Structure 1
């Protein structure tokens, strides 16, 4: 019998959040059995979701047509964040191999980036695609500081940076290096702003647990970088943005929703920590949420700004 899932609820902090949810729309658990779920990406043409189970070294696939979950890829090089590019191809952050890859339509895999300035990347974490064809990704050290989600190794670069891959040359450019652990990232609907999470509180006492907002210039460079929002439940990880510029972000107690003015509007409370999320479904109004061990979803009264 379908009904309210135990341990889930909506928390309205600002009345603007009430217009985005409906009390009769239940939060669903679609599947459970992962060790650490991450990186959901929605493929509209096939009506399926791909996400990572990092410690189990596999990628999973949920089919909207029949609710079946299957293994999409194993081994998966401890893949973390995933997205969909402008041609509908899977782009993945691989922590074990310390590289960013694209899975082509014929199933072959192309390496997009594995180094910067002649040095190995740390462990690419999350990725987004710009409409101009450029690819933007974060490179913290989570995949090289333990063997649980990658392989212990020294950082050759010595910092955790934000990068952009030029769509014409394939050159990897460093955009910012003043993060402790850069994590999730997403563009505003008009792509004039880029939001980037810093989850440095995970391994640094009193470290950052916030999202920063940058201005994207026409040449691809960034300015600004002020703190947009600070997490009141652990730290932020992955997030996505809806069509009106609201940020829907992961946190330790579920999903937090922020207005573009920085106000915390409300929360979707879940029984486990959330790592990442994305919008999908036929009308892009279904939020898919990667909890620690489970995949959840909920229909909202808004749509995602973009697929991926």
Structure 2
């Protein structure tokens, strides 16, 4: 069977006909937050309802951390340290190289964060994260709790100053920078139990801050959750039917078809051309003729 749907002929050059979509592991409840550790040859990702971070390598699956405080999204900073979003503690943390955990952010203007979801690190070392309410709306991916803040996108500077930089989205979720750092993409998945519009927005980065926000693309199958960029600025997004590849001008180029609803993605592997895919109960991967950016 073909794992790919070509819409723009250029997409046919991005995929390899003899590179299969592989299911690497299964049996989870809801997985998100993949992050590649090239120096360790492994992938970490979150099995959120089971309150653990899982490690995958070519030998198989092991538990990296349990309990994980219902961790969701992860990234690595410029020193190679793990940065994590935790639903259960409503905070963003960094795991130091000696294993100690440092709190990066857990409140804003005296109020508790909601449930940090996705996180990235900018070229200047600032940590950006989204804070929708999904982890406090039920007891499935965290603990049902009172919401104290609206759902914002935050930036934490290298010296620890936290600032709400996008405040007009319903529930910002996945986020990623363009290869040159001049654009910021943010997926808005809408509030839980609502009919809010769901789309990907793009912002121009001016003096280190996002401006001129506008709709970049709307996923037609489900919605965008996790997003990542390749070296040419194409955006790869999760969707209900797989992974969608979107050109820098916003048009859909093609799809990787996955038999489960995809949550998040990340590039990895020795050549940064292996796309890891977290999808409902399973972890998948596929080798592409593209290289990801911002891959440790």
TM-score by length of 2: 0.98
1:20-59 alignment runs, 5 A limit: 20-59=14-53
Runs of 4+ in 1 over 4 A off after TM superposition: none
Task: Report the CA distance between 1:203 and its aligned residue.
Answer: 2.8
Q: Which residue of 2 aligns with 1:204?
A: 194
Q: Indicate whether 1:180 and 2:173 are aligned.
A: no
Please give the alpha-carbon distance, in whole angstroms, between the structure 1 residues aligned to 2:98 and 2:284.
30
1:221 to 205, 209, 215: 209
Q: Which residue of 2 aligns with 1:231?
A: 219
Q: Which residue of 2 aligns with 1:280?
A: 268
1:249 to 223, 234, 237: 237
Please give the alpha-carbon distance, in whole angstroms, between the structure 2 residues aligned to 1:120 and 1:135.
18
Quick check: 1:287–1:297 contact (8 Å CA) kept in 2? yes
1:13 to 7, 11, 19: 7
Q: Which residue of 2 aligns with 1:81?
A: 73
Quick check: 1:35–1:53 contact (8 Å CA) kept in 2? yes
Quick check: 1:201–1:235 contact (8 Å CA) kept in 2? no
Aligned length in residues: 296
Task: Report the CA distance between 1:306 and its aligned residue.
Answer: 1.4
Please give the alpha-carbon distance, in whole angstroms, between the structure 1 residues aligned to 2:94 and 2:216.
31
Task: Report the CA distance between 1:201 and its aligned residue.
Answer: 6.3
SS at structure 1 position matched to 2:137: coil
Cα RMSD, aligned residues only = 1.1
Task: Report the CA distance between 1:33 and its aligned residue.
Answer: 1.3
Q: Which blocks of at least 5 consecutive residues in structure 2 are unaligned? A: none
Q: Which blocks of at least 5 consecutive residues in structure 1 are unaligned? A: none
TM-score by length of 1: 0.94
